[in-house]
Structure 1
Amino acid sequence: MRHLLVKFLSVLLALSWLGVAATPAETALHRGNGSEPETLDPHKSTGEAESWIEMDLFEGLVTADAQGQVIPGAALAWTISPDRLTCTFTLRPDGKWSDGTPVTAGDFVFSWRRLVSPDTRSRYAFFLWPVKNAEAISKGRMPATALGAEAVDDLTLRVTLEAPTSYFIASLQHHATYAVSQANVKRFGDDFIRPGNLVSNGAFMLAEAVPQGHVKLVRNPHFHAAGDVALDAVYFYPTENRDAELKRFRAGELDITYDIPDGQIAWTRQNMPGQMRLAPFFSTYWFVYNLRNEPWKSSPQLRAALSMAIDRQLIVDKITQAGEIAAYTVTPPGTDNYKAPLPDWASLTQAERDDRARALLAEAGYGPGGRPLEVELLYNTSENHRKIAIAIDSMWRQKLGVRARLVNQEWKVLLQNRAEGRFRDVVRGGWIGDYNDAYSFLSLFLSDVKGQNHAGYASPDFDRLVKAAASEIDPRARRSLMERAEAQLLADHVVIPVYVHVTTHMVSDRVRGWHDNVRNLHLSRYLSVER
């Protein structure tokens, strides 16, 4: 061993005599990332796993700081007209794509037209519906060129809104509103997203994308703040088996996990407390009924019965165990200028809810003395989701005599089927607030929001209240409209809220720059690794 060490040092010395510098080791961050990415096209992706990668690759007009707060991004500044109908963004003069070409206002106009075009079939086109004519374009009633977004010059983007929209600027942090390079998309078509083709304007650029393996990003030398980025590379690893992910973390193969298996929360809390990160999260976990199908379409009593029979407190106390809060509303606590309207049955004891559930089940014609019922409960492949589904099945059987048939699908498959309403009975869902406003949650259930209204809910009164809130500029009146809308949504038993999330991550002692925040945003540009 001593001989080998001496030989190695001799080689290094010889290289220095020859003027050859030793190549430094790559400074890389290794992140667990949940499911296999659906796509890295920011206008077509929908999941959290994809968004984390896209936040590293791209930068929207606004972005997030290390604490998850909205800050200027590709736009250096913006102004809003006195009537609140025109937003004018000034782009950074040093904003560049990873091929060195400038990021222009024309790229944003092209990208936003692409997002709202029916040909793109984006499930997030509604993010731009506040923009003039965007909704009509999405519904095929107007051409994409009618969008109220204009490139005044290369660095000035003027956006005209349908009505004053208080949350509009904050919503532009979402990946759906990111720009892609117009020249790049026109050159490669749908293949623009492949490694070697993709150019991006974020802190990193795409180097590798190995299915079921990893996505590798490398530092973008043309990023406007490249000098502040400490990492040479970031590796994202899809790992649907959370126990396997935790093992990789303990072996030193991962620096950050996507989450922690529910069954390992107590163990990690006792044995690895310094690397365990639990934090409140602006997100709700729920299931939705398919209101396109019977018996759900015409039986609110049945929908109510199944929801009331679920002991949410038992789930958070005995299964998830990370400090989650039992949920009875769609919007989570901490929503700005809002107080979610609790349904009356939420104040009952669980025994009282069970009694009411049995009465409602009988009223719907099911249960003892009525028709038998088997419910298909669909969830994406994950041990955490499976345990919750098993618990719900057990509760329904014991209390109501209702059987659940548990069906799991891979994330990409579930996303597609859920978006298109291709599930029989009940599907796992949930939402992470893209900005701190109740509208971020309630807008999902608008009847004309295709791809996100998974239940197929269609209520003219609900639509009217939510759309009125979108353009209401008086904060008190706006709050009242949204609270009334959520009260109706809950009374219709469209969704089964289960709990308000907390984020659970293992973060290595070597990682620097991590800040817990309710948005769970941790862009790699702010992180570093000590080896």
Structure 2
Amino acid sequence: MKRVLILLLVAVMVIGLVACGPPQEKTDETDAPAADTPDDAEKEPDQTTEEEPADVEEEPPAEGKKVFRYALNADPESFDPCLVHGIPSATICYHIYGSLYLDDVGDIRPALAESHELADDQVTYTFKLRDDILWNDGEPITAQDFEYGIKRFVDPETASPMGYFANIIKNGAKVNQGELPLEELGVKALDEKTLEIVLERPAGYFLGMLSKSFFAPQRQDVVEEFGKDYCATPDKQVYSGAFVVTSFGEGKMTLTKNPNYFEADKINLDEVEILTVAESNTQLSMFENGELDMVVLNTDMAPQYEGQSLSYFDGANDFGGPNLRNKYLANKDLRLALNYAINREEYIMLAHNGLYTPNLRYVLPQVSGVEKSYGEEYPLEGFPLKGDVDKAKEHLDKALAELGITDPAEIELKMVTTDAETAKKEAEILQSQWKTNLGITVNINLVPYATKNSMLEPGRDDFDIIMSGWVPDYSDPYAYLELFESDNAYNYVNYNSEEFDKYMEASKNTTGKERMDNLFNAEKTLLADGAVIPQQLRQIHYLVADGVTGLEGYFVGFNFSYLYLDKNAE
């Protein structure tokens, strides 16, 4: 099939980070938690599959079907709506679970709910469900299903890796930590068609959070019937979204159009096939052979298509996380020395052929500010593009004096990153710059993506610096900054700052420009403390086949939407 090569920059799954967390791994290149944004569009999380689906015999689709095919670098870690935490998996869940409101690539509009009312207190939301909304098995979707689903997500027994995401709901944090019973959570079905959600504080971005699977309805009878095997196979779940999972295993997941979806008449695709192909070169070959309709390019491949590419930020802000439990990294001057010693311009050229954007701050500038983007309203250069070796050495000298050390070679740190080729390259560049500019020894420890993500929790001592990232779950600076509040369950760098917490708390009790000022002050405090080591903002390129229209990349909570994608029938 003749193919038109269209390069776009996408946000890839964690398959990362949860949104929802960490970002997906970089495709032979990309990393971050969905929100962590893992390492290889380029990295997709949980890279456990080595076989290439090209070896799997596939039956040709029935004549006339519209089937969209793409590949991931690793199997999705889960499609349990409460347990997903990587961006690639979050992307799948976006398409198989319906939501009260849909974030349609920035357009927030009613979905399974037909409307909502916000009380004068600005925290009480009352949602009215549509009539005749059904599960894929024909059972009606009720407000009780939403109440049960959200409570299951927050229930500490579920042990959702993204449980903190419910902190915005009244008593969410205390319920998730087991300090209050589930009945105290601010979610209640008033009748079969009416759901009430009460928040801890006003949050203008709340409706945008509702596309996450954590807020999707779940059927109590199905969860209880299958117990720990819930979602283990496609038949052990029911679906409320545009597609249902009909097969999963042996390097392939198949989604089939859900005829009961409330907007089924607007869904053009009959099926989506998601293959697991570990190598990006193999994915590109499959695309050229007509076996895939879209392929993500790593930054080694992308230069071949210069002039044909479109680009956008996928939301992933890759950074190094210094573990403040480490006796050396507990010293602020040493952390600042590490930051100033990095020539980020050189780093981007060597690691990504200059195709990513060096990040000189922490928060993605493209998220919403008060009236414009956050970056437009609050420009910031936390660290110089080319670094500042003299300033780095000043901070190093202060650190050595405070630590009682005369030779920087005495400082030895362990840096953990994934075993993806791109992650290794990134780590080696930083290792070299730190050795050359500071004389510090940094040893690289390569681990599987899933292993790295398992370390992303407070109180760990198995890393000194961990390479990670984040994709936001809603378009607001708070989505990035909340990770570093002292009591956040995802604060794996063990950062504890009264000043930072003060600004974050103030942002919860203010609105408009005053609120955004507090968030900006929090970001500046984080950088002044050297609590993160910013690297890059990802721009992910992909090719899409001739005849495919409507594929949209996005930087909030998922990589791309194929809800309304269309293509030629086969």
Query: Normalising to structure 1: TM-score of the pair?
Result: 0.88
How far residue 80 of structure 1 moved from its aligned partner, in angstroms, is 0.5
Q: Quickly say closer, same or farther: Cα 1:381–1:348, change in 2 above 3 A.
A: closer
Distance in 2 separating the partners of 1:117 and 1:146: 11
How far residue 199 of structure 1 moved from its aligned partner, in angstroms, is 0.7
Residue 76 of structure 1 is aligned with which of 111, 114, 120? Answer: 114
- Report the 3-state secondary structure (helix = DSSP H, G, I; strand = E; otherwise coil) of the residue aligned with 1:129: helix
- Corresponding residue of 1:180: 218
How far residue 370 of structure 1 moved from its aligned partner, in angstroms, is 4.2
Q: Quickly say closer, same or farther: Cα 1:406–1:145, change in 2 above 3 A.
A: same
Q: How much is the aligned-residue C-alpha RMSD, in angstroms?
A: 2.4
Does 2:166 match 1:128?
Answer: yes
Q: Please show how residues 252-263 of structure 1 align to structure 2 within 5 Å.
A: 252-257=290-295, 259-263=296-300
Q: Quickly say closer, same or farther: Cα 1:132–1:354, change in 2 above 3 A.
A: closer
- Corresponding residue of 1:488: 525
Identity %: 26
- Corresponding residue of 1:462: 500
- Report the 3-state secondary structure (helix = DSSP H, G, I; strand = E; otherwise coil) of the residue aligned with 2:416: strand
- Corresponding residue of 1:158: 196
- Corresponding residue of 1:31: 70
What CA deviation, in whole Å up to 9, does each residue of 1:463-509 have, x standing for no partner?
Answer: 2321321232x312101211111121112211111112223222222
Q: Quickly say closer, same or farther: Cα 1:391–1:367, change in 2 above 3 A.
A: farther
Q: Quickly say closer, same or farther: Cα 1:161–1:511, change in 2 above 3 A.
A: same
Distance in 2 separating the partners of 1:94 and 1:44: 28
- Report the 3-state secondary structure (helix = DSSP H, G, I; strand = E; otherwise coil) of the residue aligned with 1:499: strand
Aligned residues: 500
Distance in 1 separating the partners of 2:561 and 2:132: 21
What CA deviation, in whole Å up to 9, does each residue of 1:5-50 have, x standing for no partner?
Answer: xxxxxxxxxxxxxxxxx95254211112233222111211211111
Distance in 2 separating the partners of 1:209 and 1:367: 55
How far residue 366 of structure 1 moved from its aligned partner, in angstroms, is 8.9
Distance in 2 separating the partners of 1:37 and 1:27: 23
Q: Which has the higher helix share?
A: 1
- Corresponding residue of 1:292: 325
- Corresponding residue of 2:3: none
Contact 1:118 1:139 (C-alpha < 8 Å) held by counterparts? yes
What CA deviation, in whole Å up to 9, does each residue of 1:412-459 have, x standing for no partner?
Answer: 222222236363211111111221111111111122221x22212222
How far residue 57 of structure 1 moved from its aligned partner, in angstroms, is 1.0
Contact 2:230 2:237 (C-alpha < 8 Å) held by counterparts? yes
What CA deviation, in whole Å up to 9, does each residue of 1:372-399 have, x standing for no partner?
Answer: 2332221223222222112111211222
Distance in 1 separating the partners of 2:163 and 2:192: 24
Distance in 2 separating the partners of 1:264 and 1:393: 25
Q: Quickly say closer, same or farther: Cα 1:409–1:347, change in 2 above 3 A.
A: closer
Does 2:372 match 1:333?
Answer: no
Query: For residue 328 of structure 2, what is the amino acid of its counterpart?
Result: P
How far residue 325 of structure 1 moved from its aligned partner, in angstroms, is 2.1
Contact 1:301 1:363 (C-alpha < 8 Å) held by counterparts? no
How far residue 348 of structure 1 moved from its aligned partner, in angstroms, is 7.6
Contact 1:105 1:154 (C-alpha < 8 Å) held by counterparts? yes
Query: For residue 487 of structure 2, what is the amino acid of its counterpart?
Result: D
- Corresponding residue of 2:259: 221
How far residue 300 of structure 1 moved from its aligned partner, in angstroms, is 1.4
Structure 2 unaligned runs (5+)? 1-60
- Corresponding residue of 1:318: 350
Q: Quickly say closer, same or farther: Cα 1:351–1:233, change in 2 above 3 A.
A: same
Contact 1:366 1:372 (C-alpha < 8 Å) held by counterparts? no
Residue 242 of structure 1 is aligned with which of 271, 276, 280? Answer: 280
Q: Quickly say closer, same or farther: Cα 1:370–1:401, change in 2 above 3 A.
A: closer
What CA deviation, in whole Å up to 9, does each residue of 1:155-189 have, x standing for no partner?
Answer: 11011222222222212222322222222112111
242-251 or 359-368: which moved more?
Answer: 359-368
How far residue 52 of structure 1 moved from its aligned partner, in angstroms, is 1.0
Query: For residue 238 of structure 2, what is the amino acid of its counterpart?
Result: V
Does 2:268 match 1:230?
Answer: yes
Contact 1:203 1:525 (C-alpha < 8 Å) held by counterparts? yes
Distance in 2 separating the partners of 1:51 and 1:392: 30
Distance in 2 separating the partners of 1:438 and 1:223: 33
What CA deviation, in whole Å up to 9, does each residue of 1:215-274 have, x standing for no partner?
Answer: 1111111111112212221112234432332232223222122x322211212337xx3x
Contact 2:79 2:93 (C-alpha < 8 Å) held by counterparts? yes
Distance in 2 separating the partners of 1:24 and 1:333: 46
Q: Quickly say closer, same or farther: Cα 1:239–1:374, change in 2 above 3 A.
A: farther
Structure 1 unaligned runs (5+)? 1-21
Task: Tell me which of the two structures has the higher relative contact order, counting C-alpha pairs closer than 8 angstroms and 6 or more residues apart.
Answer: 2
Query: For residue 510 of structure 1, what is the amino acid of its counterpart?
Result: G
